[in-house]
Amino acid sequence: MQADVQPDELDGRILSALSEDGRRSYADIGAAVGLSTAAVHERVRKMLERGTIKRFTISIEPERVGLNFTAFVAIRNDGGIHCREMAPRLSRMPEILELHSVAGEYDFLAKIRTTHPRALEDVLYEIKAIPGVARTISTVVLNTEFEDRPRRLGT
């Protein structure tokens, strides 16, 4: 990865277009931002090289694949091992979609999706079995108003 280079206004507009629709053609993006297809391709290539763009992916509707239950789980370390040793163990659990190191009473905040409440209970047992985990506290999501919003940059 190259040095940390901030995207300019055109890169921001390209990123916004791709975040709205990752399958959008470079020609279409170029027409929208005032660049040639080749220029858009080159800018995207450079953003990939720099790590500005991590990957191209799809967004799946969780309920359509049976992941009907979402919870946020705060995890507290007991001090027996460093948090950085816990994170790789938590990353191996496919139900944990996001893991954030946070300041405050807890050390991590995890976003977890499962098929039903009992599956969340199983995940919590698995988390609590990790050496260094002192406690968890769960917040169950009743409804998701929005998530995975497209990023608006350079507008």
- The domain that contains 118 carries what CATH number? 3.30.70.920
Question: In this structure, is residue 86 part of a structural domain?
Answer: yes
For 103-129, write each residue's pLDDT tens digit: 999 999 999 999 999 999 999 999 999
Q: Backbone phi, then psi, for 51, in 5-degree steps?
A: 90, 5
Answer yes or no: pTM beyond 0.85.
no
d(CA 38, CA 26) in angstroms, rounded, equals 8
Q: Which amino acid is at 142?
A: L
Pair (131, 70) in one structural domain: yes
Tokens 């938590």, residue? 90
For 26-43, write each residue's pLDDT tens digit: 999 999 999 999 999 999
The residue range of the domain holding 33 is 9-50
Pair (39, 73) in one structural domain: no
Pair (80, 39) in one structural domain: no
Question: In this structure, is residue 2 part of a structural domain?
Answer: no
Paired with 8 in beta bridges are: none
d(CA 113, CA 73) in angstroms, rounded, equals 11
Number of H helices, E strands in the chain: 5, 4
Contact between 33 and 13 (Cβ < 8 Å)? yes
Q: What is the DSSP letter of 129?
A: T
- How large is the average pLDDT for residues 53-57? 90
Structural domains of the chain, count: 2
Token couple for 19: 């975040």
Paired with 99 in beta bridges are: 110
Contact between 108 and 101 (Cβ < 8 Å)? yes
Instruction: Report pLDDT for 7.
Output: 79
The band of 98, judged by pLDDT with boundaries at 50, 70 and 90, is very high
